[in-house]
Chain A
Amino acid sequence: MNKQLHELTIGEVHAGYMSKDFTCVNLVKHFLNRIEKYNHKLNIYLALNEKALQQAAEVDKEIAEKGITRELLGIPMAIKDNFLTVGMSTTASSNILKGYMPQFESTVTSKLLAAGAIFLGKTNMDSFAHGSSTETSDFGPTLNPWNTDKLPGGSSGGSAAAITAGLATAALGSETAGSIRQPAAWCGVTGFKPSYGRASRYGCIAMASSTDSPGPIGRNIKDCAIITKVIAGKDPYDGTTTPASVENYPSFLDKKDLKGIKIALVKEYMLKEMRDDVKQLITDAVTKFKELGAEVEEISLMDPKYAIGVYTVIQRSEVSSNLSRFDGIRFGHTRDQFCQETKRRVMLGTYTLSAGYYDAFYKKALAVRTRIVSEFEEVFKTYDAVMGAVSPGPALSVGASKNQPMFGEMEDVLLEQSSIAGLTSAGVPCGFVDGLPIGLQITCDQLQETKALMIADCYQQNTNFNLFPDLDKSL
């Protein structure tokens, strides 16, 4: 098995460094060459780190002196453009922040840097994370490396596509409701959403504050586990982070089977409009879980359409408030620079919070949110995990989100419940339809990252869907 440098996982990169098969400078140069070659076709990176090679040289020196003592030492990463990175412009893919140079480093990127990661650059996303396609980006959509007629999903579409295209070893994304798992599914890579409050939001440009969750996208679950361990933990700068201790996630992986694990398959998540071949892949996954020793039972939960309503009201309300700091006085650009989708969200959110409407919308949404949370609490008394498809189907074509104000919500119909309940969830590839990847979600209770990672890892190691396209053929 002769893997090319861009196909290596974190563990394989470290093995290569230790056996001196290649240096960090070799690896970073390899990625920069690929970015040079493919980025203009895919529109994944918005800005590159000019110091990447210099930092790689320092890593090589450190390895020569001390070996690999840091978890992400010399790992080239792609960072979603809503994380503030000192020295690299941060725009959240919005013209209103075009050219914005952050004054401070986000907590999670600080932690990645402290663990030795090298940032290659900032990746494209839906503007202010408003969307599930990257089509709302003010800097043009990212294209799906499997098929450039298709969308990569979003909002972390750039980060997911960077892994598919072999333009970084690992990536950082963020999920408000599906923004990690959905693009990971459409791009056929692995994404992991930690529980709300597990990883700090400090320095992540806010979308919906009550559900924003930073998380990794990688070549497999193990890489996601390594990164999650690095970015997780209580942050004195984010009052909503949990003080719960962070486990050594990677050490719980490599389980041979899933004996004793009870998984719930949610009947309502097998949507009527879902294609039969997609349903078949989920049924296959159920079979695989049973083969691995898990018990799988069908259960019934609230119709996903209610989660859409709740999420839409809460998210738009928070968005309208969070974006008020972009008042046109500071940051160099005026409010007309907000894209259409952002303007729509600000207007809807302003409406739902207005006097006389608050009770009918926001308050009611909070009440239903509480219902959804308690419904999951009940499920997790019996089951270790809930499984289902990530998305109703494979990647849609470029242009699909145009004139579809509820596009994101329809594509994330199976993800919004777990997001508004603050749960943790892994997204792993579970097969292909029409040559495009389909994703499976394994969702566990709040703070049960270890369990979600362990189940997803066992599934991934016993299936063969973790494939990557040959760009020279697909582009």
Chain B
Amino acid sequence: MKITPMIGLEVHVELETKSKMFCGCPADHFGREPNTATCPVCLGLPGALPVANQKAIESCMKIGLALNCSINRLSKFDRKQYFYPDLAKGYQISQYDEPFCSDGSVTLESGKIIGVERVHQEEDTGKLQHTVLNGEKVSLVDYNRSGVPLVEIVSRPDMSSSAEAKEYLKKVHEIIHAIGVSSADMDKGQMRLEPTVNVKIETDIGVHYTPLAEIKNINSFNFVAQAIEFEVKRQVEEFEKTGIEKSSTNKTTRGYDSVKKITFLQRTKEEAKDYRYFPEPDIPPFVVEGDLVERIRKELPLLPDQVIAELESLGIQNKYAKIIFANEKLLALIYSFRSDSEVELPKFASALANKKINPDSDVKQQYLAMTKVGNTDKVELKKIISGIIEANPNIVAEYKKGKTSVSGFFVGQAMKQTRGTADPKTLNDLVSEALLDI
């Protein structure tokens, strides 16, 4: 029996635009007094209308371009309808069948390509606070988050292990971070993760697929990995027990309990919501015109893979390039010494990556001290070396017997006599030459 997990991921990213998706309220809702960043639009008051935030749409397109998507010439918003007390209008403005971006990809270290089906724009909901007020259990609604721009990134089910899923998420996180549209801080809920998992089971009789399970709202890469591992095991066991295969009606929604490290059933397809999507009549459809896509593309900084490739082109080893890329300070240092003729970037990078240079004090001085070139006057050094050889016939004898490691003794002695001013490489070469001659 061969088991291949099939994992797709939906990633929600909150954009850090100045204002909300469809009104002028500030989008930064963290630590604000409840309901102090609201207006008729994000409160869903009668008569209020949404007006789309152009900046947010451009950020969504930036994410799409960074994930190698194509930007659709025609797109529109749709209403996704369901009831929940934190959903002010009774519907969320999202994109259904015509998203801004589609058909992208993320390449893993192994070279495996994970497809990105779509990247679309939507709005966040308010937040419920379950609390006790005057001794009474109450649920309060804070609408500060209502209408904050969200981008949803939907992958294809191309990942076949929790490790691949984790790597994909890390890559997406790095990219979002690099293009500056969101800090994608997991602790603040700025990035929310929903894996959809099923398993391909190949036996002697044939190929079987287990029913799909979508695991809702996870906020750490490790939990995603744990949830996937649990779910794969559970689905295989379930299949062995029941033999039930995937159908168009048996997709389930599950939650993840990070304490017990298990997933649990939330609802089955029969109970699934019918969102009754239809085109949002309050916002005209979008036609991408002229050079908008090219302009956004030009605004994109180098992406993580491109930065690493660039570092490698400067002679920096891949492993050091990755360490440097992951640390903004180190990366800035590399770039600032890029055209400094006194600094050999590969050496500098290795020293930075290996923490041999403290990036917080004068790095150039540290580098120069470390790589200082000593006395290379060959005539003078040769004289010193031959003097030491003459003064130590017994060690020369050992060398002649085949103990070549004694060359270190001569180098050390010579260095001592020059009080450490000799250039180590030159000295090494000269000692080797001298020993060959005896």
Q: List the interface of chain A (C-beta within 8 A of B).
A: 83-84, 90, 92, 97, 100, 102-104, 106, 201-206, 208-210, 236-240, 317-318, 320-321, 323-327, 329, 331, 350, 353-355, 358, 362, 366
Interface centre among B85, B89, B90, B284 (most CB of A within 10 A): B90
| Known pairs A100-B46, A205-B47, A321-B90; A354 contacts B276 (CB<8 A) | yes
CB-defined contacts of A210 to chain B, threshold 8 Å: 281
Cα A212 to Cα B40 with chains together (Å): 19
CB-defined contacts of B281 to chain A, threshold 8 Å: 208-210, 240, 318
Is B282 touching A324 in the complex (CB atoms < 8 A)? no
Please tell me if B45 contacts chain A, counting CB pairs below 8 Å: yes
Give the shortest distance, in Å, between A245 (CB) and chain B (any CB). Answer: 18
Is A317 touching B278 in the complex (CB atoms < 8 A)? yes
Contact with B274, one of A318, A355, A366 (Cβ below 8 angstroms): A355
- Nearest to B279 among chain A residues (CB) is A366
CB-defined contacts of A83 to chain B, threshold 8 Å: 47
| Known pairs A321-B278, A324-B91, A354-B276; A202 contacts B81 (CB<8 A) | no
CB-defined contacts of A106 to chain B, threshold 8 Å: 47
Is B47 touching A202 in the complex (CB atoms < 8 A)? yes
Selecting from B49-57, B207-215, B300-308, B367-375, the interface stretch reads B49-57
A-B contact list, 20 entries, CB within 8 Å: A97-B46, A102-B47, A104-B40, A203-B47, A209-B282, A236-B51, A237-B49, A239-B283, A240-B281, A317-B278, A321-B90, A324-B90, A325-B44, A325-B45, A327-B85, A353-B81, A354-B276, A358-B276, A362-B278, A366-B279
Is A325 touching B51 in the complex (CB atoms < 8 A)? no
With contacts defined as CB atoms under 8 Å apart, how many contacts are there between chain A and chain B in the complex? Answer: 92
Is A84 touching B46 in the complex (CB atoms < 8 A)? yes
The proximity string for B residues 44-71 relative to A, scoring 1 for CB distances below 8 Å and 0 otherwise, is 1111111110000000000000000000
- Nearest to B79 among chain A residues (CB) is A321
Is A325 touching B46 in the complex (CB atoms < 8 A)? yes
| Known pairs A317-B278, A325-B90, A327-B90; A238 contacts B44 (CB<8 A) | no
- Nearest to B41 among chain A residues (CB) is A237
Please tell me if B335 contacts chain A, counting CB pairs below 8 Å: no
CB-defined contacts of B264 to chain A, threshold 8 Å: none
Cα A18 to Cα B335 with chains together (Å): 76
Contact with B49, one of A239, A318, A354 (Cβ below 8 angstroms): A239
Q: A239-B284, A321-B90 are in contact. List 6 more A-B contacts (CB 8 A).
A: A100-B46, A103-B45, A206-B46, A236-B51, A237-B49, A238-B282
Is A324 touching B274 in the complex (CB atoms < 8 A)? no
Interface residue count on the B side (C-beta < 8 Å): 27
Q: Is the interface of B mostly helix, strand, loop or mixed?
A: loop
Cα A350 to Cα B51 with chains together (Å): 25
Give the shortest distance, in Å, between A148 (CB) and chain B (any CB). Answer: 32
CB-defined contacts of B284 to chain A, threshold 8 Å: 239-240
Contact with B282, one of A240, A353, A362 (Cβ below 8 angstroms): A240
| Known pairs A104-B40, A358-B278; A205 contacts B46 (CB<8 A) | yes
Is A329 touching B85 in the complex (CB atoms < 8 A)? yes
- Nearest to A238 among chain B residues (CB) is B49
Cα A90 to Cα B53 with chains together (Å): 29
- Nearest to A242 among chain B residues (CB) is B284
The proximity string for B residues 23-51 relative to A, scoring 1 for CB distances below 8 Å and 0 otherwise, is 00000000000000000100011111111
Is B51 touching A238 in the complex (CB atoms < 8 A)? yes
Cα A353 to Cα B80 with chains together (Å): 11
CB-defined contacts of B89 to chain A, threshold 8 Å: 324-325
Cα A104 to Cα B41 with chains together (Å): 11
Cα A392 to Cα B168 with chains together (Å): 65
CB-defined contacts of A102 to chain B, threshold 8 Å: 45-47
